[in-house]
Each structure stands twice: as C-alpha cells, then as structure tokens.
Structure 1
C-alpha cells in the first residue's frame, strides 16, 4: 500500500456542498483518528473544499475523488490535493495521474481492468462499487490470482461490514461514506461524525 495510507483503516469518502463545512468536518474526522480524507469532485464547491483543508490543515491528507478527466488531475493538484482516486482508468488518465507525482488509486472491477492497471504500474486500486461487483467474495477470489495487488473497496462498505473487508489479505484500507454522510455534513453533526470516526479508526485488520 502507498505510504500515505498505511496508518488508517478507513478513508472517509466526502461529498461536500459548502466550503464553510470543510474545516469543522475535517477537524472532526482528524480528532476521531482519520487523517486521510477523500473529497469527491461531485459538487461545485469540491475544489474549494480541498484548497481550504490543504491550506488551513496542512497535516491532513486531503485527496480528490471522482477524478474522471485529465483536467480533474490538474485542478485537484493545483487545489492542494495530496492523492487522487478515480472510479475507472483510461490511458490518458493513467498518464496524467503518473505525471502528477501524487499517489493515485484508479478503479478496477474486472480481471481485465486489474491487469490493465497493473501494466500501467499501479498496484493499489479502488474497487467500486464494491457491493455491486461481488464485494468480499470477489476480492477474496482475486487474492491468489493477483499477488501484489491491493484494493480499497468503496460502495456498499459500512460500519457493519468494514471489518470483513479488512480481514482480506489484499484489502489494507476501505473507503466509505458512513463516517460522514451528506446528511450529517449538511446538519453539522460534527460530534456524531467524530464518534463514528473514532470507531472507524479502531477497525484494524487481523494481520
């Protein structure tokens, strides 16, 4: 697993509508023990959120998710993103991700996609949407087929099943929205988010 993520079992996947929520949200998550934060590029405020967290909380590992185009790579890096996550992979996106110099998790959900990502030099991949593509059973089946390849499953991963994913030898970390979902962010439930982050930070795989 890339060095930036080797101390966290969960990466919160965040969809944030208001830039003013960036710091209280990130602070709650960090206080709960989760330092790697994926801000999805799904709202007009996303780049502003990344920029604010990167500037005001430099110790946070804030990254950009839902990276779909090469322009997203450039915009995210300029905003201060420290890692990139995409739901899939294209040749141009692979080139841009590598050129950025940032840790990059491209998505793969079929054996062919895993093999293509491996040919580009990637060994840590996003598996999304995990539930729809076989979840724990699929990743368990892949472990002996793709030695040296690790996955961050996202999509359908919850507090109830995260430990099951983390018990797999090829899953060192999971991504999920349950720690800070859109409603909790909109309502400013920072205390609740902090509590869920504390529980999530204690989900350690039995190695």
Structure 2
C-alpha cells in the first residue's frame, strides 16, 4: 500500500468523529465493554496506547468483538510495535514523535501511521515523506491552538489531530481551526470509570465529545 493510500485511510478514520479517545487500559477484560460504550456514544475511532501490558490484548479483543469500532494503537516507537499492533488487529498507528527508523518501518508496514509532531521543522520533514495528516503532541504544552493556527498559512498542506492536555471545554479552540480534523482526548475513558466499569458514564462522555461539531 502506498503512502498516499495509507494517508487516505488515516484521513477517513480521523473524520469519523471530532474526538479520538486515547485509552490507557490496565485490564484487557474492560476493552470490549469500553469500546462498545465509545461506539454507542459516537466516537468509533479508538487509540489504545502501548503503555500497559494489557494494550495488545485489548486491541485484539476490540478488533474481534466490537462492531463499528476502528481500533488503533498509540505510543508506537518502533518497527516491532508496528508489527505487533498489526498482528493484533489494529487499523491505524499513532506515534508521539518521529524518527527516521520509525518512518522507514511505516513505509514497509501495511498499518497507516499518524506520526507525532511538535515543530514546524518536523511538519516539513513529514510533508517531504508524503504525510498530509499528523498528530500534534503534546498539544497544550507545545503551544496549543495558537501555534497550530499560526501554521495554517505557511503549511496549509498539513492537517492535524492535536492530542495532549485537551479537555471537553478546550477542544473547540482546536476544532475551530481550518487545519484541525479532530482532537485526541483521554478524558473520555478516565481511569476511575474503567476500574468501576461505568460504561454508561463513558458512553455519555463520548456523546458529549461527538456533539462538539
């Protein structure tokens, strides 16, 4: 699959909802009911981060058992991560930054990558590699909506999914920008609701996020 085709897949995934839930999951048994709640709430693209031992099992369970979910993998750092996530059933990958090795591995992988950026130089590098959709991370500490807004004029070819420090209240600051497709948010799956199995609460948070535009 070409970089253009993979970028088209990423674009379609990012347009599914205004918010992509970013999930840190400790217990893979929670994955399926959590994902069903997110899909029911209108946020079907789900990024499960590789920050816990349960992540790959959670991705596999969602991919196999949750109709309507588009499950992706986050915190991808290496070719090994891409291979493991693809095998588990992930449909897209997200990285916190970029490295030559990771970009080379993504070229050889069938898994579409949403690479992380925090500077204009990184954006320019990814444009040269054929990317047209990237993550902006960590969005709020790195400069927030004002920085991305400033990039819209000199770098109009690139579209962003800002992630990091964004809340329901601040999401519209980003979503109102012409170069922002969606935002990533961890507030939809808070640790206390995952631990207690409050799937109705997670569905409600998803509904609020899906209604942002």
Range into which the TM-score falls when normalised by the shorter chain: over 0.9
The alpha carbon displacement at 1:7 in A equals 2.4
For residues 180 and 57 of structure 1, the distance between their equivalents in structure 2, rounded to whole angstroms, comes to 17
Q: Specify every segment of 5 or more residues in structure 1 that has no aligned partner in the other structure, as ranges.
A: none
For residues 89 and 67 of structure 2, the distance between their equivalents in structure 1, rounded to whole angstroms, comes to 10
- Contact kept, 8 Å, 2:39 with 2:68, in 1: the verdict is no
Structure 1 equivalent of residue 140 of structure 2: 131
For residues 188 and 164 of structure 2, the distance between their equivalents in structure 1, rounded to whole angstroms, comes to 13
Q: TM-score, normalised by structure 1?
A: 0.95
The alpha carbon displacement at 1:109 in A equals 0.4
- Contact kept, 8 Å, 2:22 with 2:47, in 1: the verdict is yes
For residues 7 and 47 of structure 1, the distance between their equivalents in structure 2, rounded to whole angstroms, comes to 23
Structure 1 equivalent of residue 166 of structure 2: 157
C-alpha distance after superposition, 1:20-55 (max 9, x if no partner) = 101110011011011000000000010000001101
Structure 2 equivalent of residue 203 of structure 1: 212
Structure 2 equivalent of residue 23 of structure 1: 32
C-alpha distance after superposition, 1:122-172 (max 9, x if no partner) = 111111111111101100100001011011111111000111110000101
Which 4+ runs in 1 deviate beyond 3 A?
Answer: none
Question: Mean alpha-carbon deviation: is it higher for 66-75 or for 89-98?
Answer: 89-98
Q: TM-score, normalised by structure 2?
A: 0.93
The alpha carbon displacement at 1:4 in A equals 2.1
Q: Secondary structure at the match of 2:140?
A: coil
The equivalent position to 2:20 in structure 1, one of 8, 11, 14, is: 11
For residues 98 and 32 of structure 1, the distance between their equivalents in structure 2, rounded to whole angstroms, comes to 34
- Contact kept, 8 Å, 1:50 with 1:79, in 2: the verdict is yes
Structure 1 equivalent of residue 105 of structure 2: 96
The alpha carbon displacement at 1:102 in A equals 2.5
Question: Mean alpha-carbon deviation: is it higher for 3-12 or for 79-88?
Answer: 3-12
For residues 17 and 209 of structure 2, the distance between their equivalents in structure 1, rounded to whole angstroms, comes to 9
The alpha carbon displacement at 1:103 in A equals 2.4
Question: Mean alpha-carbon deviation: is it higher for 102-111 or for 91-100?
Answer: 91-100
- Contact kept, 8 Å, 2:96 with 2:137, in 1: the verdict is yes
2:82 corresponds to 1:34:
no
Q: Secondary structure at the match of 1:13?
A: strand
The equivalent position to 2:190 in structure 1, one of 173, 181, 188, is: 181
